[in-house]
Chains A and B, each alone.
Chain A
């Protein structure tokens, strides 16, 4: 039984090549079919995301594994590339390394953004597609189920995916949420038309924000954005009035000078009635004078502040790596031990069958000699024979299980075969 992986990931493959290697759903379905034709009896799961293309294959001994060259040629053919162009970029692994890699991938440990959760659903999708196409067999099914369990453990037992890493999500979840309990009764003011403002608004909308006002120096652009993002567009000339009414400002104008300086804010402040104001200044150069931050009730965050917070979160995630890797290693060992133990199945079955056959023959002889035994007594004797056989088998089976932790227990299996004249 062999496991193999051919992978092209963001670690070793440049973006341009990754783009050419990526599979659409239809292409992936076609590739799975081709693989089954070329390598009958082998299981395959194809994982294709923007950061990785990985082919996981598995099979029993009677389905010989494809060589690394065959796998590379297959991938190149599928994507219409020259196999030589892929040389040095692809990563080929077998057996335990494949399992360890998949478990790490599913847990987000191999992702470009450490601990990101999307990869888990992509792994699930890849496995689901393989099952739909009947290309996932018992080995890949067991491996992917274990991968999902590992990812779940990593997510629940470490904090690797908990800290937010994008500026809009940190701005809303870690800062705006720290000030406001709810957004549905807050007035959100969007200044400018930056892309990040739109992303931030998505997070605010998820949090319940309903009252959104958009201001842009170009009224036409403000109207366009209001239609696209939802909200009310107003004239730029109303900036002071809107600042007096707003609870949360997201600012991304392209102005070269601060749009709101300290003196201007001082004239607006009395009209705010002491309400707190959160300003997410995502513009470069900044739209709000940093001096405004010293005003009571103002919580001003520049893009630099938010980027520093993201970096701090990234470091927090990195500190979780050892704990996550320990879980991956533990689950890999457990999976491999189970896999190795499967080798012993046929031998154990033969051993059991042989002992049962001998036991049955002896019982028949005994019952013929003692015809006076009633059915209850016969049943008790039969049970005693079974218990005796089970106890005799217990120690060799335990030894086999222990041996499986360090690899397929070939030595013990050979010994058993020779001692008890079992067939291969």
Chain B
């Protein structure tokens, strides 16, 4: 059946951006970036972003967003470790962190789907409110350090297989089950999904729950990476994760543009930017944050232009000569500036 394969710019730009960033920093860092030590560090740094990005993708696919993942990571980490110490069985920090992350996610999902609170506003409120709780707990119990008996968890032979298994599970859920398929359908056209008979509320709750759960998983990786918890845990993390998702080429409106490989690509891109800037002598300071911002903006612009090009060339498809192209003209107008033809 497949007579022609249309290559969409929208899908290529993230690859080009990744390659450009990679080459740029490989050269400017004088090869430092490709050292075994640094590559390991890159992987380390991108792991948490990838894991949480995989969770957030379900939410973004539906056209919503979860900006509470950073603070959720902090709460889950702090609570998990505290629980481990409090019960005397430090291992229990793992289920405790996961349950905590899941609970926050479920609460988000419930508020968004049942009470129809816009996810953007809701998760910003959570971001502020929950941070307060984290600060309070952290102040109360002080900085927590993991016992050295758990240090082995941070060794690559343990950490990397675990990471891969979790990512594979997420890929499976998103690409090969109805949870992912329905999430994309909701992002494409929520009314259509509802009218077909898809349990929209349920799928929304599941998406936020997954996002929360992955924040819990992220908390585990962050805690064993750092060796403890602190007040600044997860600060700005939600932005990094969201940027990774969008940088990879997922549209803010979600839908069919949501693909899990894009999250991987975006996560590595953003990690390399941060890491690369540090390597070429701009440690994470004010100036490097500005450069980061500018780079992100450039890549996003490239993605947006690519998407627009694709939409326009949609007119060139064999059967789009009539109604199809007209609808394009109109929808573009509706989306772009609210003006009508």
Partners in one complex: no
